[in-house]
């Protein structure tokens, strides 16, 4: 996993994100755009691709990232190391944008 992403941590949707299903796509919107402290692009809607939608749905605030990777690895019959890279990159991006937050850490 990426350095600042803890595989033992549990992540969930932030209180400052609105999640909408638009024409079968998940769109994430910040309800507090000033909070991100980032540039203008941080305030734009964030559309999840197919992989992102699958990972997002697993981020339920109960399973840690290791467990999410295990579930996805079994579901897609893909080595955990491959899945782990996608999950870490996804989580890192969404934590950066304040769409996901760490709710607990082991």
The answer to whether residue 15 scores a pLDDT higher than 80 is: yes
Percent of the chain with pLDDT over 70: 87
pLDDT for 51-90, tens place per residue? Answer: 899 999 999 899 999 999 999 999 999 999 999 999 999 9
Helices marked H in 1-106 — which ranges? 50-58, 65-76, 80-96
The count of other CB atoms within 10 Å of the CB of residue 37 is 8
Q: What is the pTM of this model?
A: 0.83
Give residue 37's region: left, alpha or beta (phi > 0; psi -120 to 50).
Answer: left
Which of 106, 103, 100, 102 has its CA nearest to residue 14?
100
10-104: CATH topology is: Arc Repressor Mutant, subunit A (1.10.10)
């Amino acid at each position: 996993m990426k350095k600042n992403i803890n595989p033992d941590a549990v992540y969930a949707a932030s209180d400052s994100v609105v999640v909408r299903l638009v024409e079968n796509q998940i769109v994430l919107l910040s309800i507090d755009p000033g909070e991100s402290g980032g540039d203008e692009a941080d305030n734009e809607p964030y559309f999840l691709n197919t992989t992102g939608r699958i990972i997002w749905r697993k981020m339920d605030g109960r399973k840690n990232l290791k467990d999410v990777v295990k579930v996805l690895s079994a579901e897609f019959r893909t080595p955990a190391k491959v899945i782990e890279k996608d999950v870490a990159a996804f989580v890192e991006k969404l934590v950066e944008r304040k769409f996901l937050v760490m709710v607990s850490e082991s």
